[in-house]
Amino acid sequence: MKNSVKDRASERGSASVKFAITLAILVLSANAGLNYVPVAYDAESLKTDMSTAVMQGLALPGKVNPIDNVKARIQKSIQQNDIPTDALLEVKQNANSITARVVYTKDVNILPFGIYRYAYHFDHTATPTGFLLKQ
């Protein structure tokens, strides 16, 4: 038994359209990644620097003011990590510890030409942990 295959005009050319759509999605995803990843990396670097500054400020010997030292270290990290200059920096000394808090919002272009901007909000409080707080 012979089945005749009919030529269907509606099924022609769909591969190039699918390829174009897939390529557009890949390009938009790569653009979003190239814009978002550096902002997130800078934020994580700031978190690490904040934790380090709080621990080192708590362990300072002598007559050095730990709050000023922690502020200076975090402000240096803010400048190095391309954080907005209007970031809120609070350093407080509790009974036997120091806490530092940084808050900022940075716009990230997810889609090209400013079609969609994501407001990356950073709010982190660094508190010392470990053997320095044990009494």
**pTM of structure:** 0.81
DSSP string over the chain: -PPPPP--GGGTTHHHHHHHHHHHHHHHHHHHHHHHHHHHHHHHHHHHHHHHHHHHHHT--TT--HHHHHHHHHHHHHHHTT--TT-EEEEEE-SS-EEEEEEEEEEEEEEGGGTEEEEEEEEEEE---STTS--
Residue 95 · residue 21 · CB < 8 Å: no
pLDDT per position as a tens digit, 37-67? 999 999 999 999 999 999 988 888 777 888 9
pLDDT per position as a tens digit, 81-109? 999 999 999 999 887 788 999 999 999 99
